[in-house]
Amino acid sequence: MRTIIVGDVHGCAHELEDLLDKVAFAAGDRLVFVGDLVARGPASLKVLDIARATGAIIVRGNHEQKLLDYEDARGRWIRGAATPKDDTRVAIGKIHRDLARRLRPIDLVMLRSSPIWFDLPEHDLRVVHAGVDPTLSFEAQKPSTMMRIRTVPSVKGHVLWGERYVGAPHIVFGHNAAPGLQLHPWATGLDTGCVYGGRLTCLVLAQNQRVPRALATRRASLVSVPARKIWFSPTRASA
């Protein structure tokens, strides 16, 4: 059984299909998403359908969390239990608000059941969406950190958290498209900016295979496909 870990899809359903075709995804393979399956791209609901049909494991990203937070606030407002900070008119941008209103009950169930991290002990790796604070034990990590961290302070300013993290386990993550593919000694970042016109990338591991420490060997375990177009401009990244 292979394990196939996919970077941030962001609604790019056609590219996800292209990637699964390229790796010849088949029955018996295990599919894992690092989070941010939805939003910004053209077909978020189709991506969720693919995840459901393949029995994929979905690690929760900040975009999934944003949708769930909106739905929770909206539910409190409907029940008459909302507070001023639950004002959904300002708590979420139009892209996410429109998507939240199109989510089906089965989608919400799937997103609510998504873990903040997922361990794959046979590969000696952990999947999180954004990463960890390398100065803290894993038990001390906050969910918000694991869904949003990009950099950590250093004497020279800020550096990518993966540069400072020392495992085991190896951490596979997404979230940060700006640097592109990240290959650190103990961390691999798979967000290669598909929704921005980049590529959709996955890490393919054979049964019980650990993430290769040698960069050339690790690169050989990566598969990617190009975006079909620029679906979202980075200048609108706050949406």
Mind listing the pLDDT tens digit for each residue in 147-188? 999 999 988 889 999 999 998 999 999 999 999 999 999 999
Report the alpha-carbon distance of residue 39 to residue 64 in Å, rounded.
9
Q: Which residues, other chains included, contact 91 with Cβ-Cβ below 8 Å and sequence gap of 6+? A: 69, 70, 73
pLDDT at 51 > cutoff 90: yes
Element (H, E) at 129: none
Section 43-52 average pLDDT:
98
**Backbone phi, psi, residue 98, to 5°:** -65, -40
The full set of domains in the chain, from first to last, is 3-236 (3.60.21.10)
Section 70-85 average pLDDT:
68
- What pLDDT score does 83 carry? 61
> Using 50, 70 and 90 to split pLDDT, how confident is the model at 213?
very high
The amino acid at residue 206 is: A
CB 184 within 8 A of CB 160: yes
